[in-house]
Structure formats: structure tokens, C-alpha cells
């Protein structure tokens, strides 16, 4: 019997053991509604250069000419004197930068990036007595940008109907049922079945994206799984057996500090492509169904193709003791949580098998606290290999630890985190894949990870659909960071926040993390010897948060400034005119101005939220 079937049968038999208690009256049905509405305004400065913006390595033209032949011959002659082997585009851009009034702007103020997003989250709960409840998560206008961003109105001035466009440019449904599950308490423990959130520890591996957990910024995604989970305390099992098969008094399960949970997930049942890709005679990739019936998914036969199924099992064991009385007189109180989380994930189609152990610690005593989480992902897969039927080994490590002190008026902590990276990104059979970000909803700062490195991963992996899952989406990526943070609460409704962030690259891959030029004119990629600084940058974040109406109304103002370090390499995509390697549309003086602008990035943000 396969492991997944054995796990399903075990859970089913456990759930079907009847309780021999006396018949009770029909349960009382109750309805509750939790959730929030929030809108957040973002403004960034110098994410892109205002005169010579680039989208990754691709130039973005600020100006364009409706009639290129209108360029005066006198200008063309002068351009020919100083430039060789130029393109028509370079000539047009050079003319427009010299005489902007004669051209039209294709993009205005690219150095000023601003938008307003919104979301309403409704979490209805239907309770059937004290044991059973049905719960859903429904998102309305989920991170939708204010305004018409799809040209629904032919004339923008007359726009009246906003679109449902998200920050990544996709259009989403106005109403999205994100999660729906049922849970009930049995004689042996808690059972939850359905599409449900997943959260563990600090949230660097599994983060549910719920609420407002981050000191800066918001959560946008959240981990969601189609899952069957059974959670119990070992004493609860004894209690259940006693109440089911005997008349002996049951022990008090609430005093048991141990929690044990088993989960079974079905991650993929059928991929968008029904059958596996295969090598053809000419060694190109071809899908088995590419030339067959395009509507084969209308037939249940696709449910028979188990090759692309992805399965997952989860084991969690936790010791949690709150208000632990210490000493003979029991005057000291301590909180301690230690948890171990083990995931096994596999897929036959890509010969993928992965094991993910995760350790979590949370200790509090006399206002002092230590919190930490560390995971290790090991295994092998062909899903992200450079060529078909080639295996990539996975060896990924991520960790975050923090220590600090907290009282009603002050919180101070020092945090250090690490996400392993790759020195070479999947280019040969023997590569070991190590570059995975921490969860995107575990926010660190407002600029470096949320914007700068997130854009870099998009630029690197946008061309191949199979690698778009490697986008960092704002998570900590290929780096080690320190992030001391402080909170000051002078009253009941006001909190001031300060965060300092410094980060260093873990590995230099030459793509997301660029190689740098040396003073002798050589580049690190020439010999693969990394000699220059790995410093990515320094960031300062500040915020003031207000809470009114017993916590139902929240207003915040946040700002950040980042000074890019040399390893972020914001100028590596620009040619220095002093090198004379190729004609550039900017002079040496303009090049130096670009460097000053691009290495200083800022943001201002504000959020209004209503919690219910």
C-alpha cells in the first residue's frame, strides 16, 4: 500500500470511531463574521532612473518620434562625428534628449512610482454546537489597484469604472473564495478538512498571511493547502479511548503541554498540460498531447494520469507551556514553546522527493524573549533541471533568530536572518539548487527585499514558465541580514516604530546578484573569483501607528530610505561613457548623476484599516 493511501486510511479509521456518549439535542447553530478592510498607498522614488530607465537589461525609451525623418540633417551629421555603428533608435533617443520639446514622452516620471491598493477579507464562521464549525476566507478586490488600469474607458479623462488589476499587472476576480474548510472536535482531538491556511513558527517557511503581523508593510499571499489534518494532545488520545470504550475517569487534556499533528496534502492532481513532455527525435521538447485532441481535459481521462500528482505529508510535534510557574514559591512565570515540523513532498513525473525539517523556539521570561526558526530542504528533482531528464539536487537552508525585551511601553529586538543562495543558477547537470527565498509574507523592511531583489528575480526568471516559481515576491533572498527594531508606545493609541536593515549577499550568481568590475579593469566573472564587497545595502524604516475604537480602526504612516551597496550593482546595466566601449545616450556627467540617483531609494506609505 502506498504511503499516501495508508495515511488516508489511518485518518479515516480514527475519525470514524464513534463516541458512545448519550444522544444529545440538536446543536445550536451560530454565525460569526471576522475580517478586515484595508487600503494602502505606496510611493517610491528612484526605483527606476528618471532619464534612462531600464527594465532589467532592456532599455525603456522615455521619448519617441512620430516621424523619425524629421530629425534635422545638421544633427545627424554631428551625431555621425561622435558615434560609430549606432542604431536608428540610438539616434532618435539622442536627438530627443537634446531637443525634448520636439519629441513625445513614452513614459513620464519613471523615477516616481506610486499606487494605491485595497483588500476586504471576510471570514464567515458557522458553528454547530461546541464541536463543529465551517469557516471560509473570502477576499474582495484582492490587492486591486485603484482606478482603471485596463483602458476600460477609451478616453482616460472620462473613466468611471475601475478595473480589477493587481500590482503584477494581472486581472483578478472581484470576489475570490480563497479558503473553505470544516473542523470538529472528536474524542481524540481536532480534525480539519478542506482548503485551509497553513502557518508554522515565525512564518519563514509557512505563513498564513492573516492579519497584520509585520512591523512594516502588509501580507499579500498566504500559504493555502487542500489538506486533511488531525491534531491532538497525547493525553487526549487516552481520554478518548477511556470515554469511548470504558467508564474510567478521563485525564484533563488541557494540562498536557505536548501537541501532535499529522497532515496530508494533495498539491497537484493534474497540470495544465495533461501529459508529460518528452524528447522528440530531433531532441526538442514536445508534449504527448500537443497534436492530439485539444479538449482532452473535458474527458475524465486526465484524472487517470497520476504521473504529475504532487503529494505531501506533514508531521508536527510541539511542546507548549504558558504561564509556567517556576521556583518553590512559584512566583516566577515563563512561557516556552519548542516545535519540530517535518514535511515530505514527492512527485513521480519529475522524480522529485524532498524532505523539509523545521525547528521553532519561542521563550519568554521577565519581559525578555528569544524566538527562532530554521529549516533545511534536501532532496532531488527534475522539475527545475536545466535540461529534460536531468536531476538537480536541492540543498536549501533558511533561518531567522531574534532576541529582545518587551514591556507595555517599549519593545526592542535584534534579528538576524539568512536565506541560502546559488553561485550558479541551474546551468549544468551537477548543479545543487540552493536559492529559495523565505516566505514572501515574512516582511523584512520596505525596499531592499520587497522591491529591489523581487524585481531582480522577475527579470532573471520571467522568460521560462517553469522557473517563475523561483521569484522571491519580496521574501528574503540569497543573503544574510541584520534587522534591529524598536517600538515605543507613549499611550494607548500610538506606537512609533524604527527599523534598521543591513544585508550581505550569500552567493554571487552573476544574474540576480551581479558580478562587479575590479579597479584593474577586469570583472569577477572573468575568473570566477569574488573579490569585491558583498554588501547589498543599508535601509532605515520608520513608522507611526494609531489604533482607535478598541482596536477596530488602524491608521499608519511608514517611510523608508535605502542606500544601495556595491553588490546590488544598480549601475552594472549602464555603460560608463569613459570606457568608450559603445555609444551611450548620456554623458559622463549624466552617468555620475544616474549613479547618485539609483543608489538612493526612498518610499512613503500609508495604510487605513477597519477590523471586525
522 assigned to some structural domain:
no
Strand partners, 585: none
Q: How many domains does the chain fold into?
A: 1
pLDDT band for position 430 (cuts 50, 70, 90):
low
71 assigned to some structural domain:
yes
Could you tell me which residues come within 8 angstroms of residue 570 by beta carbon, excluding any fewer than 6 positions away?
564, 595, 598, 599
pLDDT band for position 168 (cuts 50, 70, 90):
confident
91 assigned to some structural domain:
yes
The set of cell numbers assigned to 248 is 474510567
Could you tell me which residues come within 8 angstroms of residue 559 by beta carbon, excluding any fewer than 6 positions away?
446, 541, 542, 543, 602, 603, 604, 605
Is it the case that residue 104 has pLDDT exceeding 80? yes
Smallest CA-to-CA distance from 349 within 297, 289, 271 is with 271
Is it the case that residue 101 has pLDDT exceeding 90? no
* Cβ–Cβ < 8 Å for 373, 339: no
DSSP letter at 322?
A: E
Confidence at residue 609, expressed as pLDDT on a 0 to 100 scale:
97
More confident residue, 463 or 440: 440
Confidence at residue 295, expressed as pLDDT on a 0 to 100 scale:
45
Mean pLDDT across 259-278: 72
* Cβ–Cβ < 8 Å for 440, 475: yes
Confidence at residue 194, expressed as pLDDT on a 0 to 100 scale:
97
More confident residue, 71 or 8: 71
Q: Which domain holds residue 71?
A: 61-105
Strand partners, 381: 392
Is it the case that residue 288 has pLDDT exceeding 60? no
Q: From the centroid of its chain, how far is CA 152?
A: 30
Smallest CA-to-CA distance from 355 within 376, 381, 385, 383 is with 376
Smallest CA-to-CA distance from 94 within 576, 572, 579, 587 is with 587
pLDDT per position as a tens digit, 373-428? 999 999 988 877 656 667 888 899 999 999 999 999 999 999 999 999 988 876 65
* Cβ–Cβ < 8 Å for 226, 266: yes
Confidence at residue 398, expressed as pLDDT on a 0 to 100 scale:
97
Which span out of 266-270, 448-452, 463-467 was modeled with the highest average pLDDT?
A: 448-452
Is it the case that residue 24 has pLDDT exceeding 80? no
Task: Give the integer Cα–Cα distance in Å for 185 and 317.
Answer: 19
- Residue appearing with cell numbers 516604530: 497
* Cβ–Cβ < 8 Å for 315, 261: yes
Confidence at residue 247, expressed as pLDDT on a 0 to 100 scale:
65
pLDDT band for position 90 (cuts 50, 70, 90):
confident
**Coil, helix or strand for 63?**
strand
Which DSSP helix (H) or strand (E) runs through 77?
helix 73-82
* Cβ–Cβ < 8 Å for 354, 344: yes
Distances (CA, A) of 247 to 250, 256, 339: 9, 21, 34
Reported pTM: 0.85
Range of weakest confidence among 54-58, 366-370, 421-425, 458-462: 54-58
585 assigned to some structural domain:
no
151 assigned to some structural domain:
no
The set of cell numbers assigned to 288 is 504527448
Smallest CA-to-CA distance from 196 within 229, 166, 168 is with 229
pLDDT band for position 470 (cuts 50, 70, 90):
confident
pLDDT band for position 293 (cuts 50, 70, 90):
very low
70 assigned to some structural domain:
yes
Smallest CA-to-CA distance from 167 within 181, 146, 196, 138 is with 146
Smallest CA-to-CA distance from 258 within 206, 347, 320, 345 is with 320
Is it the case that residue 461 has pLDDT exceeding 80? no
69 assigned to some structural domain:
yes
The set of cell numbers assigned to 107 is 513614459
225 assigned to some structural domain:
no
* Cβ–Cβ < 8 Å for 184, 133: yes
Task: Give the integer Cα–Cα distance in Å for 236 and 254.
Answer: 9
- Residue appearing with cell numbers 519561542: 362
Is it the case that residue 349 has pLDDT exceeding 90? no
Task: Give the integer Cα–Cα distance in Å for 339 and 336.
Answer: 10
What are the phi and psi torsion angles at 79 (to 5°)?
Answer: -65, -40
More confident residue, 52 or 570: 570
Mean pLDDT across 520-535: 87
pLDDT per position as a tens digit, 185-221? 887 889 999 999 999 999 999 999 999 999 999 999 8
- Give the other-Cβ count within 10 Å of 21's Cβ: 9
Amino acid at each position: 500500500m502506498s504511503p499516501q493511501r495508508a495515511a488516508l486510511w489511518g485518518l479515516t479509521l480514527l475519525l470514524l470511531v464513534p463516541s458512545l456518549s448519550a444522544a444529545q439535542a440538536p446543536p445550536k447553530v451560530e454565525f460569526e463574521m471576522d475580517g478586515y478592510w484595508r487600503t494602502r498607498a505606496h510611493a517610491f522614488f528612484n526605483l527606476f532612473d528618471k532619464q534612462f530607465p531600464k527594465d532589467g537589461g532592456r532599455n525603456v525609451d522615455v521619448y519617441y518620434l512620430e516621424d523619425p525623418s524629421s530629425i534635422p540633417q545638421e544633427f545627424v551629421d554631428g551625431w555621425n562625428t561622435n558615434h560609430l555603428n549606432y542604431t536608428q533608435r540610438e539616434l532618435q533617443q539622442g536627438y530627443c534628449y537634446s531637443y525634448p520639446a520636439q519629441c513625445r514622452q513614452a513614459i513620464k516620471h519613471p523615477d516616481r512610482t506610486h499606487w494605491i491598493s485595497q483588500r476586504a477579507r471576510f471570514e464567515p464562521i458557522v458553528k454547530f454546537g461546541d464541536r463543529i464549525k465551517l469557516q471560509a476566507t473570502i477576499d474582495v478586490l484582492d490587492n486591486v489597484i485603484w482606478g482603471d488600469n485596463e483602458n476600460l474607458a477609451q478616453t482616460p479623462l472620462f473613466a468611471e469604472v475601475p478595473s480589477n488589476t493587481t500590482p503584477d499587472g494581472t486581472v483578478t476576480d472581484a470576489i475570490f473564495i480563497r479558503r473553505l474548510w470544516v473542523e470538529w472536535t472528536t474524542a481524540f482531538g481536532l480534525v480539519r478538512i478542506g482548503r485551509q491556511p497553513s502557518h508554522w513558527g515565525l512564518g519563514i517557511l509557512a505563513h498564513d498571511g492573516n492579519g497584520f503581523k509585520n512591523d512594516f508593510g502588509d501580507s499579500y499571499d498566504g500559504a493555502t493547502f487542500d489538506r486533511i489534518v488531525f491534531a491532538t494532545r497525547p493525553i487526549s488520545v487516552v481520554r478518548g479511548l477511556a470515554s469511548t470504550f470504558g467508564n474510567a475517569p478521563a485525564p484533563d487534556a488541557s494540562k498536557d503541554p505536548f501537541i501532535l499533528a499529522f497532515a496530508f496534502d494533495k498539491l497537484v492532481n493534474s497540470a495544465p498540460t495533461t501529459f508529460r513532455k518528452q524528447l522528440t527525435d530531433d531532441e526538442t521538447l514536445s508534449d504527448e498531447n500537443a497534436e492530439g485532441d485539444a479538449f482532452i481535459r473535458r474527458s475524465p481521462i486526465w484524472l487517470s494520469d497520476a504521473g504529475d500528482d504532487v503529494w505531501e505529508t506533514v508531521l508536527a510535534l510541539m511542546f507548549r507551556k504558558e504561564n509556567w510557574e517556576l521556583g518553590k514559591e512559584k512566583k516566577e512565570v515563563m512561557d516556552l514553546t519548542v516545535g519540530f515540523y517535518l514535511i515530505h513532498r514527492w512527485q513521480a513525473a519529475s522524480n522529485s522527493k524532498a524532505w523539509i525539517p523545521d525547528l521553532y523556539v519561542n521563550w519568554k521570561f521577565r519581559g525578555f524573549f528569544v524566538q527562532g526558526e530554521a529549516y533545511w530542504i534536501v532532496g532531488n528533482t527534475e522539475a527545475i533541471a536545466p535540461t529534460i531528464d536531468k536531476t538537480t539536487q536541492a540543498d536549501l537552508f533558511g533561518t531567522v533568530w531574534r532576541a529582545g525585551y518587551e514591556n507595555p511601553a517599549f519593545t526592542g529586538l535584534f534579528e538576524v536572518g539568512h536565506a541560502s543562495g546559488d553561485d550558479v543558477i541551474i546551468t549544468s547537470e551537477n548543479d545543487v539548487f540552493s536559492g529559495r527565498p523565505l516566505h514572501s509574507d515574512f516582511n523584512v523592511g520596505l525596499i531592499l527585499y520587497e522591491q529591489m531583489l523581487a524585481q531582480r528575480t522577475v527579470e532573471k526568471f520571467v522568460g521560462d514558465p517553469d522557473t517563475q516559481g523561483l521569484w522571491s515576491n519580496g521574501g528574503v533572498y540569497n543573503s544574510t541580514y541584520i534587522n534591529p527594531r524598536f517600538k515605543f508606545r507613549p499611550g494607548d493609541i500610538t506606537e512609533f516604530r524604527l527599523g534598521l536593515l543591513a544585508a550581505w549577499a550569500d552567493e554571487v550568481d552573476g544574474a540576480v546578484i551581479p558580478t562587479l568590475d575590479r579597479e584593474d579593469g577586469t570583472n569577477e566573472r572573468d575568473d570566477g573569483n569574488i573579490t569585491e564587497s558583498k554588501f547589498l545595502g543599508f535601509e532605515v524604516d520608520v513608522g507611526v501607528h494609531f489604533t482607535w475604537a478598541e482596536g477596530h480602526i488602524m491608521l499608519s504612516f511608514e517611510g523608508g530610505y535605502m542606500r544601495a551597496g556595491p553588490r546590488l550593482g544598480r549601475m552594472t546595466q549602464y555603460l560608463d561613457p569613459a570606457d568608450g566601449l559603445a555609444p551611450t545616450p548620456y554623458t559622463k556627467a549624466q552617468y555620475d548623476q544616474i549613479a547618485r540617483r539609483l543608489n538612493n531609494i526612498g518610499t512613503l506609505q500609508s495604510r487605513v484599516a477597519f477590523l471586525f
